[in-house]
Amino acid sequence: MKTVAEGMLATVEEWPAVTLEERVRRLEDVRAIEEVISHYARCVDASDAEGVAAVFTEEGQLCGPGFPPVCGRAKIAKLYGRLLPAIALSAHGVSNIQVCVTAPDAAVAHCALWAWDGTGESLSFGDDVVAENQFSFGRYEFALVREPDGEWRASAMNIHFAGQTGSAARNGEHLGRPWPPRPTE
């Protein structure tokens, strides 16, 4: 993960990886974390609330726009179980993934998001549209831990919108965020 120090591009201080074995493990960990983030996006698009919740630790925390923090895998599954059926079609993309390994079994990650959520007819009543197609752009921030089964999972995720279309648009939430990311703030 990169930052700026004294006007120059610099690497954020990470947990040291000195030996070849440690360096290879770091590469494998970063790839596994990228896979967790991609899994989240794929499960949202598949309307798979259980798959979304599986990204989180048992006590994981989700901080999102417009609702208080949701704590616990079961509550996150319940939230997405209510949200996802209202979306007829969905396409989420993540890019610019940056990962900082902060300890042997802990990391933070940051990425850009773009999403299209199509409500289709599922939220329309006759000629009255209750919800509309929406484009969203912003950031995901993750705190991740390697659990005893060896899998990386999110202990915290925070969603910030840089821009959003539609009547309930959210904008500029990514501005002023700390760097490196602190997903629980």
- Residue 37: φ, ψ to 5°: -65, -45
Q: For residue 40, give the amino acid letter.
A: Y
Predicted model pTM: 0.86
- Tell me: the pLDDT tens digits for 132-176? 678 889 999 999 999 999 999 999 999 988 888 776 677 777 778
pLDDT at 44: 95
Position 172 in a domain: no
Q: Does the pLDDT at position 128 exceed 90?
A: no
CATH label of the domain that carries residue 141: 3.10.450.50
Total domains in the fold of the chain: 1
Task: Give the range of the structural domain holding residue 60, as residue numbers without chain letter.
Answer: 13-164
Q: What is the pLDDT of residues 45-69, one digit of tens each?
A: 999 999 999 999 999 999 987 778 9
Strands 56-64 and 67-71: antiparallel
Is 183 inside any structural domain? Answer: no
